[in-house]
């Protein structure tokens, strides 16, 4: 099984999101050989597209992919995955209660932009 960690580095971040996830996984016993790192994306759409391209470049199938994300984000990720020719299966990650309200507002705004703007 292969895991792709995906996410670029923001202005105020010391390392990319992908590097942070890679570090966490390897520190918790996941072999580095099972992890591919995509650290150039700056949006959810790029996370999916760049991860798919990375998997294809390594010879892996990309038609069906499980993705781990916060529950609030699953619907939009599934829509973007479909746009990229991927049948996606969600694995819910835990969201820190401090961020739930702002994440839901952000997600609704992103969905409104997708469908109405």
pLDDT in tens, 32-55: 999 999 999 999 899 999 999 999
- The domain that contains 27 carries what CATH number? 3.40.50.620
**Of 65, 63, 61, nearest to 6 (Cα)?**
65
Q: How confident is the model at residue 114 (pLDDT cuts 50, 70, 90)?
A: confident
Measured CA to CA, the distance from residue 46 to residue 2 in angstroms comes to 19
Question: What pLDDT is stored for residue 18 in this prediction?
Answer: 97
**Between 71 and 47, residue with greater pLDDT:** 47
Measured CA to CA, the distance from residue 22 to residue 3 in angstroms comes to 9
pLDDT in tens, 12-29: 999 999 999 999 999 999
DSSP strand E in the chain: where?
3-6, 35-38, 64-70, 87-93
- Provide the number of structural domains found in the chain: 1
Give the pLDDT mean for 78-83. Answer: 89
Task: Identify the domain containing residue 111 by its residue range.
Answer: 3-116
Length of the chain: 117
Strand 87-93 and strand 64-70: pairing? parallel
Kindly report the pTM of this predicted structure.
0.81
């Amino acid at each position: 099984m292969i895991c792709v960690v995906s996410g670029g580095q923001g202005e105020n971040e010391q390392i990319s999101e992908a590097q942070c996830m890679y570090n966490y996984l390897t520190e918790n016993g996941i072999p580095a050989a099972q992890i591919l790192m995509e650290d150039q994306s700056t949006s959810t759409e790029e996370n999916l597209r760049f991860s798919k391209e990375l998997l294809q470049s390594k010879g892996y199938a990309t038609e069906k992919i499980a993705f781990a994300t916060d529950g609030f984000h699953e619907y939009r990720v599934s829509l973007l995955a479909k746009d990229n020719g991927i049948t996606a299966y969600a694995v819910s990650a835990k969201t820190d209660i401090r961020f739930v309200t702002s994440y839901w507002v952000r997600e609704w705004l992103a969905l409104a932009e997708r469908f109405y703007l």
